[in-house]
Amino acid sequence: MDKRADFCPLVDIPAPHGRLIDADALIARMTSDAEQMEEPLAKMFTYAAINDVKRSETVIEAEDGDTE
């Protein structure tokens, strides 16, 4: 069957696609690490990386619709 019902929320994922990760878990781990850092420069770069992850495009929405 090549068709889906109009109400079906499923969409094709383009292939090949990049690696899919849990960005929220990554942000939480990086934030926890940054809070324990004593070196200001390392902390600054870690928070910059966290902001990069937060600003990254969402490819597939979370099932509950939450993107943060």
Section 45-54 average pLDDT: 97
Instruction: For residue 4, give every residue at least 6 positions away whose Cβ sits within 8 Å of its Cβ, in sequence order, or none.
Output: 10
Chain segment 6-42, per-residue pLDDT in tens = 888 887 777 887 888 899 999 999 999 999 999 999 9
pTM over 0.75: no
Dihedral angle of Cα 32, 53, 63, 2, to the nearest 10 degrees: -150
pLDDT band at 2 (very low <50, low <70, confident <90, very high): low
Give the H or E element holding residue 32.
Answer: helix 23-35
Spans of all domains in the chain = 23-55
pLDDT band at 62 (very low <50, low <70, confident <90, very high): confident
